[in-house]
Structure 1
């Protein structure tokens, strides 16, 4: 995709310390070596020092409480959690508190997330599958962390959430799907969210966010710029769980929000992203009064309008809206400006406009590096450099 030339090498640098091993079959008296692995991820976290790598042996971990991470590393000595070699590590949070909480109940902050990362810094997470937890990843007031090739699905709240004063976190190649929130009947479980904070420098790149009960992506009351690139959201907002009354929104990319007295201006950047087949809108500022940059995105076949920007000072350029529902393809008003978009160019924009409207490739396996496979999906037949591309 367009931003593939940007490589986050700096995240992978730093001095290496000890190797610590954990296994689903380990025990409480083991020493954390390859031959004698811990049985508890939390014990490995508590033991680790900056620069250490925690290797998870293959299998499914079923802790009864979430994993608390509060330590700080440094830019040259990061903590790392990853599977051992090519083994597959799954963490199933079904036995944790809040899975789910009853309708109308609150979920205590400390219980949020299979990994609850708070006041921590310089952690790296790679190639983990997180399911059935009270959130998948919950990163609060925690900065300079790196998350790559994670899968967060079927959690009882948002799959991956940044909150509070969380800065310089990088999330690459996330798959987050079928997350739901029975305690709120679908009001707030998203694929990826930044909520109620003001941290700077946060980046989401190359994510796929699908079939979540609320929105694919939600930047709710997050006042500092978040960069969203090369990300695809589809199928969000459908009541697959029989919630009644159903409270899900169903937007692909919701870029603000909050009550009238809590709206904050977040100057987010959304570039080379695709929203398709979501229940409601493709991209919406949702009351955000900031100045958003919305470049080369595509909204196709969503249930409502493709782009709705009526509250912000956004600049929309080189985007495509086609085959969406609603009374019109877009609603651009107020201080928002648009140029070189499909609705500015005019003409007919329908399925025949694109080289392909078949989505199996973008929904299929990722490539060996974790990126979404390239295809002709929603590329204009004209060859015009407009809209998003996976190539």
Structure 2
């Protein structure tokens, strides 16, 4: 089935004038990158690729016709890009993406002399990749990079030899606005899980959805390093004046050495919705010096922080949280407080986050239905508190024709979406462009357990690449849509 569909896609793209290239060596990859054009696909065969030098991606795709760098559909294991033979140096960023409109998926980047991936381009999608043991941040955005989406990626065990630097992810310094992190995990990075420190940019906005930051500030061997050790560093700047607006939805900060959600002189607007903070040095820290412009916290929980939380800002809107309205959040509210679940549970086949019991509310917890509607999906009379909504609804283990949610794909008029539900669910269906902007939203459907299907018509969608998102209260599954005339 997979090979038949691959042959169909190759023939279809050839008719459209797009090329598909398969690479199995670094030199083949360099050659393919140097000639890539909008709509082209570069497939990477499985195996270890040992790089002795960094490389750049600088040929642009266009809106509607991204250039794709993907694992070959026949692969059993993931391609590993190994840069560990490169010397540690700020000039040794492993991969530099200065181009626009790329889709990079399914690659493991290891051992870079600086960043594993540095993005200065815009409107790119980085999906289901990992960045580990790099000598600076695993993935960093700068030089005006804007409107990029990082989806279902991991960054871990990044540290420099001076034992004081290297974040998991960093949208910082002179980055642009509109960047998003969705479904990403950052753990055991020497410095921060996410770093938003600014120098050269101001008043930008970054969004974090369903992201987990845990045990940052620790080295790979488990000892504490010399870095800051925050989960989410919202901002900060040399002059203490710059604004990095940040929006957090359904995020976890757990077991980080210093702060879970960190102010660090950020003068911007920070919004925290349905988030969970547990066992950080301080779970939520917004100080009264160099004060933030505004701070909104709703439907969130904070448990077992090493110091008392602080919620200072010029304007605050802090309501319906686990420490308000007579609520007391304690260990009895949760099925598990084992942070190791966040790291050891494997991602699902589509790259989405694993199902874990960590900070899942127990039956009877008074944190259930204790929230307020903030525009996120919920089950019951009102939203629950924390990152995970309770209930029996779920799209766990969606089964679809091989690894494809819809067929045919590409399609010109309509495509069939086929899946199998383990249990009855209320399902929402949405279509996003690859920059994370919702294009279409359909009415929720009550579906029975077992095989289900529906027809998705192209309607107003212009030719291009999109994400089809099936979502309920416990998770989501994503698939790429390609529409053509």
Would you say the 8 A contact 1:236–1:279 is kept in 2?
yes
| Distance in 1 between residues matched to 2:222 and 2:168, nearest whole Å | 19
Task: Compute the displacement of 1:284 (Å).
Answer: 1.0
Change (3 A) 1:228 1:84: same
| Distance in 2 between residues matched to 1:292 and 1:300, nearest whole Å | 19
Is 1:211 equivalent to 2:188 in the alignment?
Answer: yes
- Residue matched to 1:43: 31
Match of 1:267, SS state, is strand
Change (3 A) 1:86 1:149: farther
Count of equivalent residues: 346
- Residue matched to 1:121: 100
Task: Compute the displacement of 1:360 (Å).
Answer: 5.2
- Residue matched to 2:23: 22
Larger Cα-atom Rg: 2
| Distance in 1 between residues matched to 2:326 and 2:260, nearest whole Å | 19
Would you say the 8 A contact 1:342–1:349 is kept in 2?
yes
Match of 1:54, SS state, is strand
Correspondence for 1:366 among 336, 347, 359: 347
Change (3 A) 1:239 1:83: closer
1:240-261 CA-partner distances (Å, limit 9, x unpaired): 47999x5301111110022125
- Residue matched to 1:4: none
Is 1:89 equivalent to 2:88 in the alignment?
Answer: no
Higher relative contact order at CA 8 Å, sep ≥6: structure 1 or structure 2?
1
Change (3 A) 1:335 1:166: same
| Distance in 1 between residues matched to 2:62 and 2:50, nearest whole Å | 30
Would you say the 8 A contact 2:36–2:59 is kept in 1?
no
- Residue matched to 1:291: 269
- Gap runs ≥5 in structure 1: 1-12, 25-37, 102-106
1:30-89 CA-partner distances (Å, limit 9, x unpaired): xxxxxxxx7432221012222111111111111211121111110122111111114221
Moved more, 372-381 or 278-287: 372-381
Correspondence for 1:225 among 189, 202, 205: 205
Task: Compute the displacement of 1:336 (Å).
Answer: 4.6
Would you say the 8 A contact 1:186–1:243 is kept in 2?
no
Change (3 A) 1:254 1:23: same
| Distance in 2 between residues matched to 1:16 and 1:197, nearest whole Å | 37
| Distance in 2 between residues matched to 1:242 and 1:176, nearest whole Å | 16
| Distance in 2 between residues matched to 1:156 and 1:355, nearest whole Å | 37
- Residue matched to 1:10: none
**Could you state the TM-score of these two structures normalised by the residue count of structure 2?**
0.68
Match of 2:24, SS state, is strand
- Residue matched to 1:8: none
Match of 1:345, SS state, is coil
**Could you state the TM-score of these two structures normalised by the residue count of structure 1?**
0.83
Would you say the 8 A contact 1:20–1:48 is kept in 2?
no
RMSD of equivalent CA atoms: 2.2
| Distance in 1 between residues matched to 2:222 and 2:175, nearest whole Å | 35
1:103-161 CA-partner distances (Å, limit 9, x unpaired): xxxx13xx32x21112x101110100000012111102x10111100011111111111
Would you say the 8 A contact 1:362–1:372 is kept in 2?
no
After superposition, where does 1:231-380 map in structure 2 within 5 Å? Answer: 231-240=211-220, 246-260=225-239, 263-302=241-280, 304-310=281-287, 311-312=291-292, 313-326=294-307, 328=308, 330-337=309-316, 338-359=318-339, 361-363=341-343, 364-380=345-361
Would you say the 8 A contact 1:23–1:57 is kept in 2?
yes
